Amino acid sequence: MNAPLYVTPPPIMPLPEGETAPQPVREVPQLLKQLIGLQQQQVGLMKAQLANQDSSQRWRNFLARWAEEFPNIGTACKQAAPILERAYLTLLSELTDRVNSAEADELGNEFALGEFLDRFGMRLGQLSNILGQVGPLADATPAPAAAPPETGPGN
């Protein structure tokens, strides 16, 4: 068995008599203030960068700018988005079924490939583009506030 290992603390050396600890330099508080100032600037820049990356905020601002002329466009986009998403996913499902079926070998034939692209290519691209426009507006639109409970004449 090994004997227990004892660690001895380093010796404490007292300051020679007549000497005191060095006085803090006057530059240290100034340097600390500069560091704090730089850190505050850095936090401000990070907040600005985060705000620029928040695309939802940009779309909310866009909707707010045009709220007077197009008051219900955000709500309309919010209602249309699920319908468009369903149509997009249905088309994707049809496309993947076709590719994964035995008919996939036909895609080597130039005529069959042209038919496949005519059937799916343009529609899929256009639906994707439409979702790319409607989706952010729908996401930026706040959910409608819940209506307060109605009170009847007997309450």
- Give Cβ neighbours of residue 128 (< 8 Å, ≥ 6 apart): 88
The predicted-structure confidence for 17-69, as pLDDT tens digits, reads as follows: 665 555 566 788 888 888 999 999 999 998 888 877 777 888 888 899 998 99
pLDDT (0 to 100) of residue 94: 92
> With 80 as the cut, is the pLDDT of residue 124 above it?
yes
Give the orientation angle of helix 122-140 with respect to helix 73-100, to 10 degrees.
140
Contact in structure between 131 and 84 (CB atoms under 8 Å): yes
Locate the domains of the chain by residue range: 72-140
- Ramachandran class of 13: left when φ > 0, alpha when ψ lies in -120 to 50, beta otherwise: beta
The predicted-structure confidence for 61-104, as pLDDT tens digits, reads as follows: 889 999 899 999 999 999 999 999 999 999 999 999 888 886 65
- Establish how many alpha carbons lie within 13 A of residue 31's alpha carbon, considering only the half-sphere containing its beta carbon: 5
Q: How far apart are CA 73 and CA 140, in angstroms?
A: 11
Sign, Cα dihedral of 101, 106, 108, 114:
negative
pTM: 0.57
